[in-house]
Amino acid sequence: MTNASVKYKEIRFLIEENHTDMYVRCEAQGDCPLGVQGWHFKCFPGQDSIEILLWKAFGPQNEESPIMWPQKSPDPIPRRG
């Protein structure tokens, strides 16, 4: 896995009253394990701002790397018109 890397393609948030769901679509590159490819999901407490969630997922501490989250796709975005 020395040639492995991940590209984050899309981030979605579902903001509810008591929690925020964060979805991250990862694209595996090189020798990544199979489970890296696709959507990853995590539920965060509602008091955390989007800025804090992004810091937790992608900041220098990388407290909660999205590739370690369970895989789950977000619901499709409804089309208008």
63 inside domain: yes
Indicate whether 40 belongs to any domain: yes
Residue 18 placed within a domain: yes
Residue 39's pLDDT is 94
Residue 62 has pLDDT above 70, yes or no: no
* Per-residue pLDDT tens digits for 4-54: 888 899 999 999 999 999 999 999 888 878 788 899 999 999 888 999 999
Q: What is the pTM of this model?
A: 0.83
pLDDT, residue 31, reads 81
Residue type, 62: N
The 3-state secondary structure of 38-78 reads EEEEEEEECCCCHHHHHHHHHCCCCCCCHHHCCECCCCCCC
| Residue 1 pLDDT | 58
Counting the structural domains of the chain, the total is: 1
18/20 Cα distance (integer angstroms)? 7
Q: What is the domain range of residue 13?
A: 5-68
Contact 63, 56 (CB under 8 A): yes
Residue 32 within any structural domain of the chain: yes
Report yes or no on 15 lying in a domain.
yes
